[in-house]
Chains A and B, each alone.
Chain A
Amino acid sequence: MSSRDTDWDGVRLHVVTGKGGTGKTTVAAALALALAAGGRKVLLVEVEGRQGIAQVFDLPPLPYEERKIAVAPGGGDVYALAIDPEEAMLEYLEMFYGLKRMGKALTRMGVVDFATTIAPGLRDVLVTGKTSEAVRRRDRSGRRVYDAIVMDAPPTGRITRFLNVTQEVAGLARVGPVKNHADLVRGVVASPETAVHFVTLLEEMPVQETLDGVAELHAAGLPVGGVFINMVRPVGLPKPVLDAAVKNRFDHAELALGLKAAGLAGGPADASAIAQALAEEVLDHAHRTRLEKRERASLAKAGTPRYELPLLADGADLAGLYELAESIRAQGAA
């Protein structure tokens, strides 16, 4: 057990959401590694059947079964589970009604199609229900089986509806077993033991969606966690240089001299041509930096802790995951 203070001490269910393309699954995986570091046991769950976790960890497709997929720095374990609504439904029937033998008949009858087609809320209740079960699960000696659960959740646009299970099944079931189950799930998801984290990029659309998502969660009484700003590029140039570039006062001549000094240019004309091309990149970078500053300021309005994760030069491979996990720990998010 780690004795360090982190921003989310006491949180046992970390729900990770984000707009498509922001790297939600990668961040969820890195967060699981970070939380497991130093000898803890963490379960990483996937709920949308995309097998994104298997891809991130470079593994064959995951079954509906908790299995160890990675060892964290300092000896912790990350387990993974791809929740399949069909299997979750059969398990639910067995657990609460002893109806396991019914499974085949139910599958044959299209009960799963039923659950996922006509009863949208039911699917989400099954998936969040399975996750909540893992959060609450204890071993024989009464200890929690997992120190933390990380959920690679649906995208920002759907997250509130997904987690707001009681609301969602309201039209489906005002009373009865589904309603009871939903209430139980709500008890876990809306508790201080849960935090919903957002993954975003420093771009307009994902930032706007993040702010909208935070507001929606607040309105629904669900616990907002932190904002993970992903794929942050290093600031390459000092501010005065960027300011000059935006004002069209970038020092081409100085750059050309530098290029010549570095032996990159044949003659003055050549140096000037390369400097011209590089100056375009500088201007582009300057515009981007300004936009990023604006988006950072927008995100600050959400009033939640923010963490910055670097853009990985080689993409999100396994080594990159550990790098992100380290960054998450260094910033106190885990």
Chain B
Amino acid sequence: MTKTAPVLDIDAILDDENTRIVVCCGSGGVGKTTTAAALGLRAAERGRSVVVLTVDPAKRLAQSMGLTELDNVPRRVKGVGSPDGSGNGSRGELHAMMLDMKRTFDEIIEAHADPERARQILTNPFYQSLSSSFSGTQEYMAMEKLGQLRRSGDWDLIIVDTPPSRSALDFLDAPERLGRFLDGRLIRVLMAPAKAGGRSAFKLLNAGFGIVAGALTKVLGAQVLKDIQMFVSALDAVFGGFRQRAEQTYKLLQAPGTAFVVVATPERDAIREASYFVERLAEERMPLAGLVINRLHRSPASALSAARSTAAAEDLEARGEHELAAAVLRLHAGRMQLAAREQREQEHFMSAHPTVPIAHVPAMAEDVHDLDGLREIGGLLAT
């Protein structure tokens, strides 16, 4: 028996004026960015004023939206018309931007610290390492940018693509991890000398703290520890602002105007990750809209089963007749097997999450290169 799931009504979500944020998440390589861009285009062509925030898009996808540089500023996408591509009767607009995480981080520092302190932070080697390569910074900054875009009030729908993380959950955890770190005991240890007016480091601390500091010095070297201390004490002044913003953005994600769209392919790993994500969103009380399954293989001749097809091919081959038909039947059998396997993977998800609505996008031979390609995917998502 084939299980079925409720259908994810994409247009209902995009058309609903109360939907203000759509977050596309899922494991790497499942087509999150493409899905985000296709949803953005469709929403715009259905009359909404949309901005798509992408993180590290593939070159050609970025080009398909006319994005040529990573400049942290939303750019208007040209050629947006109506869903049928005719350009008639649409009031919507599409903007797109690529996240520049370092610049976003710099801007927060500049907004929260006086110029002298900002300079101290921005030139600290630790800050430079943290702001350009820490694996959680991208997630944190994507959420920060989302908060900024939302507060600006310039768009009535924001679609955000989540960063390609180690695990799809990183973007939920990273802000908290950064916050916990900046708020943690270790930081207080490291800050102590600065607070004590730079007098002999760790003197004022108890033995436990002293041992830890000693160990860190051994492992990292004294200079590194000094850099960190300077950085941390400078950051301390702006940290209140940080935490507050992170909390605001987190609340924004829980608000009813947000819709999470989990993206997967019908492969075991991607489906497992999607399940995990759905459960996690429920735990965090974040509003899930549904699951998009990309690159699904279907057959236009699905009434002809793999078994019958194979048997017929064998029969023709044994008789040495109709080589073409035999080869086509073999091809079809392979396709039906693949479709069956993908169906099984999907059913694992449906058994665990029977109420989660699903939308499907069939596999296509080529990647998206232009707006027409995105429009086509948007259309498929909505059917």
Contact = CB atoms under 8 A, between A and B. Distances in A.
Interface of A: 19-22, 48-50, 52, 55, 92-93, 97, 99, 102, 105-106, 108-111, 113-114, 117-121, 154-155, 157, 161, 168, 171-179, 203-206, 208-209, 233-234, 236-238, 241, 251, 254-255, 257-259, 261-264, 274, 277-278, 280-282, 284-285, 287-288, 291, 311, 313-316
Given A113-B184, A254-B322, A287-B365, A238 B328 contact: no
Contact of A171 (B128, B322, B324, B331): B128
B185 interface: yes
Nearest to A113: B181
A55 B265 CA distance: 18
Main SS class of interface, A? helix
Nearest to A282: B328
Interface string B242-270: 00000000000000000000000101111
B135 interface: yes
Contacts of A106: 212, 215
Given A110-B184, A168-B133, A172-B129, A21 B324 contact: no
B121 to A, nearest CB: 13
A22 B133 contact: no
Contacts of B332: 278, 281
Contacts of B315: 262-263
Q: Which among B184, B189, B322 has the greatest number of chain A C-beta atoms within 10 A?
A: B322
A284 B186 CA distance: 59
B177 A113 contact: yes
20 contacts: A20-B29, A21-B267, A21-B270, A106-B212, A110-B180, A117-B136, A118-B126, A171-B129, A174-B223, A176-B224, A205-B58, A254-B325, A258-B328, A264-B312, A278-B332, A281-B299, A281-B300, A281-B301, A281-B328, A288-B365
B221 A175 contact: yes
A176 B217 CA distance: 9
Given A21-B27, A177-B219, A114 B186 contact: yes
Contacts of B29: 19-22, 205-206
A206 B313 CA distance: 34
Closest 8 pairs (CB-CB, A-B) = A258-B325, A20-B28, A176-B221, A21-B29, A20-B29, A258-B322, A277-B301, A262-B312
A261 B321 contact: yes
B308 interface: yes
B125 interface: yes
B345 to A, nearest CB: 8
Interface SS majority for chain B: helix
Nearest to B177: A117
A174 B272 CA distance: 42
Given A19-B28, A120-B129, A282-B328, A172 B316 contact: no
A105 B212 contact: yes
Contacts of A114: 181, 186
B203 to A, nearest CB: 18
Interface string B196-220: 0000000000001001100110111
A287 B366 CA distance: 9
Given A93-B215, A257-B325, A281-B335, A264 B301 contact: no
B255 to A, nearest CB: 28
Contacts of A117: 134, 136, 177-178, 181
A258 B324 contact: yes
Contacts of B177: 113, 117
Contacts of B130: 118, 120
Contacts of A208: 58-60
Nearest to B129: A171
Nearest to B60: A204
B166 interface: yes
A157 B163 CA distance: 12
Contact of A255 (B185, B211, B222, B328): B328
A130 to B, nearest CB: 15
A313 B338 CA distance: 7
B112 interface: no
Nearest to A259: B325
B335 to A, nearest CB: 6
B330 interface: yes
Nearest to B345: A315
B331 A178 contact: no
A176 B223 contact: yes
Which one of B265, B322, B325 has the greatest number of beta carbons of chain A within 10 Å? Answer: B325
A50 B167 contact: yes
Interface in B297-352: 299-301, 304, 308-309, 312-313, 315-316, 321-322, 324-332, 334-335, 337-338, 341, 345
